[in-house]
Amino acid sequence: MNRMASLVIVSKGKDPYQTTTTALQKFPFADFNGKRVLLKPNAGRLASPGEGVTTHPLVVSAIIDYLRTLGVKKIAIGEGFIFGVDGQKAFEMTGFKDLSQKKGVDLLNLDQFAPIEKFILHGALLKKVKVSSALNDFDCIISIPVMKTHMHTQVSLSIKNMKGVLWRKEKAKLHQLRFSERISPGPGRKALDYAIAEMATLLKPDFSVIDGTVGMEGLGPAYGKPKKTDCIIVSNNALSGDAVAAWLMGFTPSKILHLKLCSEKGLGEIQLERLSIYPEDYQTWRNPFEPPPTTFSLPFPDIRVYDEGACSGCLSTLLVFLQENYLRLDDYRLKDRKIHIGIGKHLTSCPNGTILIGNCSAGLKKRGILVKGCPPVSSQILEVLSKKRTLNS
């Protein structure tokens, strides 16, 4: 559907609805008449509008109203959810249930549709993925992410947002992949970045509208700090839009691995000087975000973490738990006087008495204290440990 050269429009303003409308009105949209459009916001978590976790519904409201002026045939809002999140509650809390009712558009839990299997040509890590069959009912997908940092991929924007159309636990699969011996990408390169780039060859959205009204910095994508930037970025090439957003966040697009890999696969341009970006003085709106932690480091020298293939959900939960409850963990020290914690799909060994976080570590439950969840929340970890201590006393 989208054949025009890559164009990126940046709009700045205090009101999410008006700022989005201004950006859309400056964009030369075409070929939407009679189309069926799926809007894919970032709404897979339990969070309220304006927290920097999920897309603001006023941004999506503006998109719906503008698309209707272009003569679209059908509009729906669709999202798949983090494992363990109640989709109905998430739609209510994020404001999208109310929005869908006010605007008269369908609200789709993509995980409730049957899966369809799609094969990835020349995939090194991903050979195929399961996606929601709801995608078959649409001609065009608009990715509407929040401008966020991510502890594994540096940023989470339009390309990564498409992980939400993967079917159910297929979303977690991307976090659990490992390089084979024939793939040796070099130190510091994560399999997740390669998996996202391979997924993008199959699931690249037609357009992107990036919600930077309130983003998230630091420990994204869920436990960082809200970052108000009051900007909206619209592009007919999701990768190029992500590159501009990343630059405005203070990052170098070519140093964000999944963006670089997508560009190498021919999915779009990330060199800003080769893009048409408006307004021409958009550089004055650069507002550097606090970067995510580049390594999983803890300010607690007596905590030993065994991390083998953990996703951002469990790692974020663990960090939050330790920040809140570190002083309550003395009873769980082993003979070396350290607290041992195991996490991740590929965890193969740990000392007896290790605290095991998340369902992925269940294979070693006989060696330690298992806290179930995908991911568990901080209070669940404390509850399990407290029960264990009571039983042992």
Query: Residue 178 corresponds to which tokens in the numbers above?
Result: 């490992």
Pick from 212-226, 275-289, 365-379: least confident: 365-379
pLDDT of 268 over the 70 cut: yes
What are the beta bridge partners of residue 141?
38
**Taking a C-beta distance cutoff of 8 angstroms, is the pair 59, 20 a contact?**
yes
Between 4 and 153, where is the model more confident?
A: 153
Closest Cα partner for 21 from 213, 232, 195? Answer: 232
* Distances 144 to 38, 122, 147, 171, 231 between C-alpha atoms, Å: 10, 28, 10, 18, 13
SS3 318: helix
**Taking a C-beta distance cutoff of 8 angstroms, is the pair 270, 306 a contact?**
no
| pLDDT given for residue 2 in this prediction | 45
| pLDDT given for residue 1 in this prediction | 41
Assigned CATH topology for domain 303-392: Rossmann fold (3.40.50)
CA end-to-end span of the chain: 66
Q: Which residues contact 261 (CB under 8 A, 6 or more apart)?
A: 193, 194, 196, 197
Query: Residue 138 corresponds to which tokens in the numbers above?
Result: 């649409």
Helix 238-248 to helix 257-264 angle (10° resolution) is 150
Strand pairing report for 276-278 and 7-12: parallel
pLDDT of 3 over the 70 cut: no
**Taking a C-beta distance cutoff of 8 angstroms, is the pair 37, 74 a contact?**
yes
Span 32-82, pLDDT tens digits = 999 999 999 999 999 999 999 999 999 999 999 999 999 999 999 999 998
**CATH code linked to domain 7-285:** 3.40.50.11440
| Percent of the chain residues topping a pLDDT of 70 | 95
Q: Give span(s): CATH 3.40.50.11440, the chain.
A: 7-285
Span 219-262, pLDDT tens digits = 899 889 999 999 999 999 999 999 999 999 999 999 999 999 99
**DSSP per-residue letters across 193-255:** HHHHHHHHHHH--SEEEEEEEEEEESSTTTSSEEEEEEEEEEESSHHHHHHHHHHHTT--GGG
Please give the model's pTM, rounded to 2 decimal places: 0.89
Query: Residue 263 corresponds to which tokens in the numbers above?
Result: 């560009």
Cα separation, 179 vs 383, whole angstroms? 36
Span 89-140, pLDDT tens digits = 999 999 999 999 999 999 999 999 999 999 999 888 999 999 999 999 999 9
| pLDDT given for residue 294 in this prediction | 63
Q: Does a cis peptide bond (omega within 30 degrees of 0) precede residue 288? A: no
Q: Where are the beta strands (DSSP E) in the chain?
A: 7-12, 36-41, 74-79, 106-109, 115-119, 128-132, 140-144, 146-150, 154-156, 207-217, 225-235, 276-278, 303-307, 339-343, 354-357, 368-371
Span 140-185, pLDDT tens digits = 999 999 999 998 899 999 999 999 999 998 988 887 787 765 565 6
